[in-house]
Chains A and B, each alone.
Chain A
Amino acid sequence: DIEMTQSPSSLSAYVGDRVTITCQASQDINNYLNWYHQKPGEAPKLLIYDASELEAGVPSRFSGSGSGRRFTFVISRLQPEDVGTYFCQQYDTVPSITFGQGTRLEIK
């Protein structure tokens, strides 16, 4: 299976800050990479698909980039409702779909 490694595993930032999360794949996955946000007690929510495409209804402060093995997720101006855990997910090798271990984001 393709291993997805997210960094950092947790971070704390101020409202208004720019936040960056990276996801590294153990092998080339083209752009077959999605990003999710999970608030405590809720199901994950799709934010970005195909590495850089913004899901309908998702605020434009969220963005994604990358291809191959290294991917970046950015929140341009952190808002209080952005707290929670962010996951990347690859689908290059269906049926071996795998997720990153998650990045927990808190507000300072």
Chain B
Amino acid sequence: QVHLQQWGAGLLRPSETLSLTCAAYTGSFSVHDWGWIRQLPGKGLEWIGENNFSGYSNYNGALNSRVTISIDASENQFSLKMTSVTAADAGTYYCVRKAYGHAFDVWGQGTEVVVSS
């Protein structure tokens, strides 16, 4: 059974960089795409982006310039970096595995991110 465990700093000041990492406990890391989704208060779920073993990435156009998702296949881990955070970026961030089509079938436990000066 695939399990995702995520961690990272949850309290940031405006303009800082959000950095989260997710470990995938699976024997088939290289055959899947891995990504991040966030849940903003009052705004629902928002897809952030994804990457895979081959380095093929896709990002939400609204966040593209601030987001990087990187893969460390040697550790079965993937990471999210989001620069220049503001209060509008506060919410819960989930790492996910992308399955058939673009269904997200495995989710991390979530990290609550607070942005405050």
State the A residues within 8 Å of B (CB).
32, 34, 36, 43-46, 49-50, 55, 87, 89, 91, 94-102
The segment out of B23-31, B81-89, B94-102 that lies at the interface is B94-102
Residues of A within 8 A of B101 (CB): 32, 34, 49-50, 91
In whole angstroms, what is the CA distance A10 to B93 when docked? Answer: 24
State the B residues within 8 Å of A (CB).
44-47, 49, 58-61, 94, 99-105, 107-110
- Cβ–Cβ contact B61 & A96, under 8 A: yes
- Interface pairs (29), CB distance under 8 Å: A32-B101, A34-B102, A36-B104, A43-B108, A43-B109, A46-B103, A46-B105, A49-B99, A49-B101, A50-B100, A55-B103, A55-B105, A87-B45, A89-B102, A89-B103, A89-B104, A91-B101, A91-B103, A94-B58, A94-B102, A95-B47, A95-B49, A95-B58, A95-B59, A95-B60, A97-B60, A97-B102, A99-B44, A99-B46
- Cβ–Cβ contact A49 & B44, under 8 A: no
B60 to chain A, nearest CB (A): 6
- Cβ–Cβ contact A96 & B60, under 8 A: yes
A104 to chain B, nearest CB (A): 12
In whole angstroms, what is the CA distance A82 to B91 when docked? Answer: 24
A17 to chain B, nearest CB (A): 25
Residues of A within 8 A of B58 (CB): 94-95
B114 to chain A, nearest CB (A): 17
In whole angstroms, what is the CA distance A100 to B105 when docked? Answer: 17
